[in-house]
Amino acid sequence: MTFHKEGYTSLALAILFIFVINAVADYYDALPIIKWFVYLLSAFVFIVIVQFFRSPKKVIQLQDGVILCPADGKVVVIEETEETEYFHDRRLQVSIFMSPTNVHVNRNPISGIVSYFKYHPGKFLVAWHPKSSTENERTTVVVKANNGVEILFRQIAGALARRIVWYVKDNDPVIQGSEFGFIKFGSRVDLFLPLGSEIHVNIGDKVVGGKTIIGRY
């Protein structure tokens, strides 16, 4: 288990906050009950930041034709839908909701070349809102596999997630299971797969990024 680089600033601010409130409590010689409250609050803040930005080390098994899960969380949508940004046709959508307690590293579901990337500024509706996938702040990434099949995946900010981080751009080669981004403080990732793809998960399943097989194409 390691601490993700995206958490360094948050951890530094948390430590500064902890130092200040403890220094104030000591300087004014606060009552014991207040000091204990400050100690407990300090521990809570530190633990929350450390657990949120944890980044487990994973051994990824590369598999052609397999779509690996891009994020830890829970499957909340499996449906056929119209994809209107890139494909402009019918696709199988699989959506994964990430709660604040999940690991928030986002991983490439397949290996290939990034054939499309776009960042969209937007709103911060709750991640399960029907319009969050088209109106919230989000990124859209399309990766083309060696056999020409393209998979679209989308990072979507939620009500708490105020920062989406990505590490890819057009024409980048990517490896299945490697990090392509990070979303801070809970949100969701949508996958758009070719019709006829074999889906291996069900709604409500808890999934693990880079480990769980979402399906095959």
Q: Which of 1-5, 193-197, 199-203 has the lowest mean pLDDT?
A: 1-5
The domain spans of the chain are 2-55, 66-216
pTM comes to 0.84
Of 95, 111, 132, 187, which one is the catalytic site residue? 187
pLDDT over 70 at 85, yes or no: yes
User: By percentage, how much of the chain surpasses pLDDT 90?
Assistant: 60
For Cα atoms 95, 117, 89, give the angle at the middle one, nearest 5 degrees: 60
151 and 191 in contact (C-beta within 8 Å)? yes
Residue 130: C-alpha distances to residues 44, 51, 136 (Å)? 33, 29, 11
Residue 188 confidence class, pLDDT cut points 50, 70, 90: confident
Who contacts 144 (Cβ-Cβ below 8 Å, separation ≥6)?
112, 113, 114, 115, 150
Known active-site residue 178: no
At 39-69, the pLDDT tens digits run 999 999 999 888 878 888 888 888 889 999 9
For the domain bounded by 66-216, which CATH number is listed?
Answer: 2.70.70.10
For residues 178-191, average pLDDT: 86
Closest CA to 141 of 167, 105, 104: 167
